[in-house]
Amino acid sequence: MIYRIRLVTCVTLALACAPRLTPLDGTSAPASLPRSDLSRGHQRVVFRWEMEDPDMLTRGDGAARVAGPDSVRLDFFLAGGLGGGAAVLIGDALRLPPGAEDLARRLIPPAPLLWAALGRLAVPPLRDTTARVDGDTLRADIGSPTVWRVTFVRDTLRRLERVADGRVVEWVERRSGDGRVRYQLEPNRRRLDLFISRSDPSVFDPTIWTFP
């Protein structure tokens, strides 16, 4: 019982560190969001990554092999050849290789936020969506109370935020121009930056979707 009280207290304090969700700006708009499906076909996305939290700073290289519309394999390699991690996401099912769960779980966001990092909106269906437009920017709150806030600039997904108890717990933002994607987990101040260098058509071996 004491352990449960302490756990609830820690979670409550962690959420209190997350920023409050601000009201939507702009004028009211129809609750219809742009399509953000991934193109069919295979792409290999190459990036550098850097993860920082209060305890450590880690960096390395990585690649995402994307099979539109709903499959991706991510491989992360630590700088200096000291190890790595991998994950396969098909739909909303995330799979990790045996023995590499710790690094992979620290690096890889939950499925909806990982898809947002690739430009695809794939949140669980919820009732009640409120949208507002400000110039070329459309923002929408999904759920009542809000569970997700999504931001589109014209037809491009730029940001997805997960909300709990009126606070932004974690988010992904895709910056235009420099190929940077940032994932932030607010309660423990964990940040993951991806610096995308190129994206090329590719051919994948079918075995990449399974781990030994």
pLDDT, tens digit, 9 for 90 and up, residues 134-174: 999 999 999 999 999 999 999 999 999 999 999 999 999 99
Report field, pTM of the whole predicted structure over 0.85 = yes
Q: Where are the domains of the chain?
A: 2-209
**How does strand 148-153 pair with strand 156-164?**
antiparallel
Per-residue pLDDT of 193-207, as tens digits, reads 999 999 999 999 999
pLDDT digit string (tens) for 93-120?
Answer: 999 888 765 667 777 889 999 999 999 9
pLDDT above 70 covers what percent of the chain? Answer: 90
State residue 121's pLDDT score: 97
pLDDT for position 178: 83
Residue 92's pLDDT band, with cuts at 50, 70 and 90, is: very high
Alpha helices in the chain (DSSP H): 2-16, 101-107, 111-117
The tally of CA atoms less than 13 A away on the side-chain side of residue 19 is: 10
Fold topology of 2-209: outer membrane lipoprotein receptor (LolB), chain A (2.50.20)
Please tell me whether residue 146 adopts helix, strand or coil conformation: coil
Output the pLDDT for position 6: 39
| 6-51 per-position pLDDT tens digit | 333 334 445 567 999 999 999 999 988 999 999 899 999 999 999 9
Q: What is the mean pLDDT of the chain?
A: 88
φ, ψ dihedrals at 182, nearest 5°: -120, 130
